[in-house]
Amino acid sequence: MERLCRVAYLLAPLPALLAIPVAASMSPWWRLWFNAISDLGNPFKSGPIAAAVIDSAYVLTGIILGIVSYCYKAFSRAERILLFLVGYTLSIVGVVNESYGPLHFAVSVAFFLTLAACIVAFAVYSIARLRRLLPAILYLAGVAACIVMWYYHFTAGLPPGAAIPELVSVALFLSYYYPRSMISTGTVRGTG
């Protein structure tokens, strides 16, 4: 079971990450600077196949994250709850796609807030359990940078599309997600 959990942990983000360029390649109108990633999931804009690719990948990734949150014990209890919420809200983003308008926006906000909460939980874990201030400061600075990026996107239209703030937020989360288990299990040199 532990081996299955580790495989699920490693593969969880891949369906969504791989679906983005696939759906984008099927949607020649889509531009990184001008669009949101969620635009790819709108069957009226991207077509039913591209939308199915990205939306089903969101759901699959969310389900795998939910499984990981249950069985992978390297995360603290709070992190596991937040990781479950990340997976749950990502699945809902796939079901309530961009064609749902304001409802999709609300679900997307919930998803990105849970990403930020996971990173803040890791910062707290870094201080409380690992007694390491530098990772906590770096992750909190990353969350602050994402907040500033989202602020400029919503207030000044920079960038005009949400894809870049979305990708930066996800990259920050992944920089927490993958090393987090190695830190907590002592498989990274100098930890344990």
Would the pLDDT of 189 be above 60?
A: no
Q: What is the pLDDT of residues 57-95, one digit of tens each?
A: 999 999 999 999 998 877 888 889 999 999 999 999 999
On whether the pTM is more than 0.75, the answer is yes
Q: Tell me the range of 86-95, 122-131, 171-180 where mean pLDDT is highest.
A: 86-95
- The Cα 23–Cα 168 span in angstroms is 19
Calculate the alpha carbon distances from 185 to 66, 90, 179 in Å: 20, 27, 10
pLDDT range class, residue 18, cuts 50, 70, 90 = very high
Q: Say if residues 70 and 84 touch (Cβ distance below 8 Å).
A: yes
Residue-level pLDDT at 79: 87
